[in-house]
Amino acid sequence: MAVEVVYRSSRDVERLFMDKAEADRHDRMLELAEKLADVLQQAVPALGERQAEELGIYMARHRDVFARAFKNQADALDELRSPPAAE
C-alpha cells in the first residue's frame, strides 16, 4: 500500500495540492483576493458581495499583470484582454 501526502488549503478546504508550496501560494492568493474584495466593496458600495469577491479573485490571480500596470506599464493589461472571436 502506497502512502500519498497531500496538502489542503486552509482557505479552500475542498482543494487538495500535491505540493506544500503550491498550497501556500493558493492560500496567499485567496488572502489577497479577500482583502481586495473588501477594499473594492468599500470604495464602491453598490458593488455586490459576490461581484467584489469575483473581482478580488481575478485581480489576485493576475497580480503580476496589475503590478506592472500600476508601475506605469499600462500596456500590461492588454495581456488580460480576450482575443477577438474568429469569424
* pLDDT tens per residue across span 46-66: 999 999 999 999 999 999 999
Is 57:38 a contact under the CB 8 Å cutoff?
no
* DSSP code of residue 45: T
CATH architecture of structural domain 29-80: Orthogonal Bundle (1.10)
Q: Is the pLDDT of residue 15 over 60?
A: yes
Report the distance separating Cα 76 and Cα 87, nearest Å. Answer: 26
The pLDDT of residue 86 is 56
The pLDDT of residue 85 is 55
Is 12:26 a contact under the CB 8 Å cutoff?
yes
The pLDDT of residue 11 is 79
Helix-helix angle 49-61:20-43, to 10 degrees: 130
Higher pLDDT, 37 or 2: 37
Mean pLDDT value of segment 34-39 = 96
The pLDDT of residue 3 is 85
Report the distance separating Cα 74 and Cα 68, nearest Å. Answer: 7
Q: What pTM was computed for the model?
A: 0.79
Q: What's the mean per-residue pLDDT of the chain?
A: 89
